[in-house]
Amino acid sequence: MVNSKILLVDDLKDNLLALEGLLRHEGIDIFKAKSGTEALELMMVHEFAVALVDVQMPGMSGFELAELMRGAKKTKSIPIIFVTATAKEQSFMFKGYESGAVDFLLKPLDTHAVKSKVNIFIELYRQKKKQEELLSKLKKTQGELEQAVQIREDLMSIASDELKIRKSQLKQGVEREKLAEEQFRQQTDELESKEGQLKEGSDREKFAEKQIHSRNKEIEEQREELLHVTRVGKLAEFVSSLAHEISQPLTAILSYAQAAQRMYAGRDPQLEEILQYIINDDQRAAEVIRQLRSMLKKNKPAFGFFDINALIKDTVSLIMTHITRRKKIVKFNLCNGLPFIFGDRIQLQQVLLNLVSNSLEAMDETQDSCELLINTSLQDVNTILVEVKDSGCGIPVENIKNIFTHFFTSKADGLGMGLSISRSIVEAHGGCLDAKNNPDHGATFYFTIPVGAKDSLLNATTSNLSAISVN
């Protein structure tokens, strides 16, 4: 802990030495001033826990010094104990308290009283510093909570896409149920018209009933999946609302910090620097919330040119807290000078988020896995290759051919839609998404994206992208 500082003000050197000898001990720094002017200069540089001021000094008296201290913001909170040689009438004491004193010490000084009173103010000063440190830690914790909420919003965005796919699958299941019922009726009519083939008709009836039972079971499973996705969608709405609420205090913090910056312009460089840090961090947090909220909105595909390397860095920055908490490291090997691609930025960001998240989960299953590598390169003059390479457990050989199939998942709480949706997005952009196991350990997911914009690509993919747009 930093030492507490005491200021002694007296025009007599012997009095200063006597007080210094009485109060000096470990954890306290003592500063001495022989005049009010010298005391003010020290107070502009140092922060004091308490000041012991002689009342009767030539030039500027102790009362005048106290009044000047109370008029300045930096010094008005310093506790003042007046030291006087004689006890005067009550009006004298009142004048001291009105000028800002918290106590009086009468000469000759009582050693025990001096130490006790000074120690009280030193302890109060230390408690104040502890409270300031606690407040700083609380603000830091609040920032981490905001980042966690932002990561949750990203997960809800993926769940919203899965909800749309689930609805489509449910509709298909109902149609298959109607088809099975029609087939059953046809088989029943056929049995009634063929009395001589009763046994064969009975076997067909049993087979049809088995088909109906199997399809009913499939429909029931799809209904359960739809209920699950509906719950996830409701949670996404809640998280989106929470992000809106967080944006309001961030705006207020920015306004207060900017107001304080204007008030102290040119007066305290150190304070101005701290205020600028607050403003920069506030604006960065607000920008992250804005990006994530844009991913939650239900918009039509927005085509445009953009840098794939910049998109990768922005995407990783959104979940950097999630990556750090898992004690993982993300490395980049991004090819410089890549041409711009043409597509929907939000949907391709969703693909990257899904691939990085899957890789992090795979590395959690292996204790020594901590490094994730993202590569970009020019596969040919018209195609960019993006690779997400992890050092995790790899993909079981029997699962590689199924990982991009709807509803296939190896996770206990997975929906089996993330990779399927990601492949649909990439293919809608004219590319290809695939995966392979690494020679040593881990797996690599990679996809290609065409360079630039072509009229044929734009016309062919607009309807496909609309069908899988982010909610």
Statement: residue 460 has pLDDT above 50: no
Tens of pLDDT along 48-67? 988 999 888 888 888 888 88
In degrees, to the nearest 5, what angle opens at C-alpha 287 toward C-alphas 283 and 290?
140
Structural domain boundaries in the chain: 4-109, 143-292, 299-467
Statement: residue 456 has pLDDT above 50: no
For the chain, give the number of residues. 471
pLDDT, residue 457, reads 47
Which stretches within 264-386 are classed as H helix?
A: 269-296, 308-318, 320-325, 345-364
Interval 444-468 mean pLDDT: 64
pLDDT tier at 221, thresholds 50, 70, 90: low
Contacts of 107-110 with C-beta under 8 Å, sequence gap 24+, read 107/83, 109/19, 109/22, 109/83
| Range from 36-45, 92-101, 420-429, 452-461 carrying the lowest mean pLDDT | 452-461
Give the sign of the dihedral formed by CA 170, CA 172, CA 175, CA 179.
Answer: negative
CB 166 within 8 A of CB 232: no
Statement: residue 228 has pLDDT above 60: no
pLDDT, residue 134, reads 85
pLDDT, residue 470, reads 38
pLDDT tier at 108, thresholds 50, 70, 90: confident
Looking at per-residue confidence, does 236 or 284 come out higher? 284
How far CA 47 is from CA of 2, 7, 50, in Å, comes to: 11, 10, 9
Q: Homologous superfamily of 299-467 in CATH?
A: Histidine kinase-like ATPase, C-terminal domain (3.30.565.10)
Task: Please give the single-letter amino acid code of residue 178.
Answer: K
Please tell me the pTM assigned to this model. Answer: 0.43
Interval 277-283 mean pLDDT: 81
pLDDT, residue 291, reads 61
Statement: residue 424 has pLDDT above 80: yes
Looking at per-residue confidence, does 41 or 152 come out higher? 41
Statement: residue 230 has pLDDT above 70: no
Find which of 85-94, 253-262, 454-463 is predicted with most confidence, using mean pLDDT. 253-262
Distance of CA 458 to the CA centre of its chain: 35
Interval 423-428 mean pLDDT: 89
Looking at per-residue confidence, does 178 or 89 come out higher? 178
Statement: residue 383 has pLDDT above 70: yes
CB 328 within 8 A of CB 360: yes
Range 4-109 has CATH code 3.40.50.2300: yes
